[in-house]
Amino acid sequence: MTADTEILKVEIEGTIATLTMNRPAKRNAMCDALLDAIDAFFSRPPEGVRVVILTGTAGHYCSGLDLSEHVARDAEGTMRHSRNWHGVMDKIQFSGLPVISAMFGAVIGGGLELAASTHVRIAEPSTMFQLPEGMRGIFVGGGASVRIGRILGADRMCEMMLTGRKYNAIEGLDLGLAHYAVGEGEAMDLARKLATKIAKNATLSNYMMIQAISRISDMSKSDGLFMESMCAAVSQTSEDAGEGLKAFLEKRAPVFR
């Protein structure tokens, strides 16, 4: 099944949805219409989809905010626009669907913010990570100071923004901007393989990993441990947990709901 909009292609094969940002002439730069299309998908994911792959076209993942379509806003308007980005990035991170980024070419500014809201990131050799906002006289507004800051650490992110420093795929892998580095043209193959594997997990355990782990990192040690116990109690008393134990004892692969 394939459904295309002008700027976002949606292809569904079984339990896996592939979203392809489709603005090739702009290196898939983010505009409000593309953000709205991504928002619409994650607001109402098609029934039966268990994993999402997010990627770009024409050699680039996403080159960030389309500055050619920049709208002059006052302080309040800018804040509201930034908060809308935050809402969409949160929806990607916490929709409950695992999201895999298959990355190549530009992963810049808002594109890196977008990738950082996904759960698995795969980088081809052409991948280039950058936060160039400082060179444009602006500050990040799509969640980078939180998500990317937590990946890199505040000190390294500050240097990255001050200097406009670029990182390649291997450097990004070492820093945590990517989880996998693959050969040219191999990101989608690995993304599909990992998506197929993740889709076989119990949906409840996937949901809990997505919802709980990043939140636990925000909590005190004691609160985090309590939350872990709550998640363990709910998941380990589920129907799927019973199937997982039974499958282990019967030496077969589990079949979750």
Distance CA 144, CA 55 (A): 19
Evaluate whether the domain defined by 203-249 bears CATH number 1.10.12.
yes
pLDDT at 2: 47
Please answer whether residues 243 and 201 qualify as being in contact, where contact means their C-beta atoms are separated by less than 8 angstroms. no
pTM for the model: 0.94
CA 69 vs. chain centroid, Å, equals 24
Is 169 within 8 Å of 131 (Cβ atoms)?
no
Q: What's the alpha-carbon Rg for the chain, to the nearest Å?
A: 19
Burial call 160-185: b when 16+ CB within 10 Å, e when fewer = bbeeeeebebebbbebebbebbbeee
Residues in the chain: 257
C-alpha 151/C-alpha 145 separation (Å) is 10
Our measurement of the distance from residue 43's CA atom to the centroid of its chain's CA atoms, rounded to an integer in Å, reads 15
In degrees and rounded to multiples of 5, residue 165 shows phi and psi of -55, 140
Domain boundaries, the chain: 2-199, 203-249
Q: Which are the catalytic amino acids? A: 113, 133
Task: Supply φ then ψ for residue 20, to 5 degrees.
Answer: -115, 115
Tens place of pLDDT per residue across the chain (257 aa)? 445 558 999 999 999 999 999 999 999 999 999 999 999 999 999 999 999 999 999 999 999 988 776 667 889 988 999 999 999 999 999 999 999 999 999 999 999 999 999 999 999 999 999 999 988 888 999 999 999 999 999 999 999 999 999 999 999 999 999 999 999 999 999 999 999 999 999 999 999 999 999 999 999 999 999 999 999 999 999 998 888 888 888 888 888 87
What pLDDT, on the 0 to 100 scale, is given for residue 12? 97
Of the candidate CATH numbers 1.10.150.120, 1.10.3720.10, 3.40.50.261, 3.90.226.10, the domain formed by 2-199 belongs to: 3.90.226.10
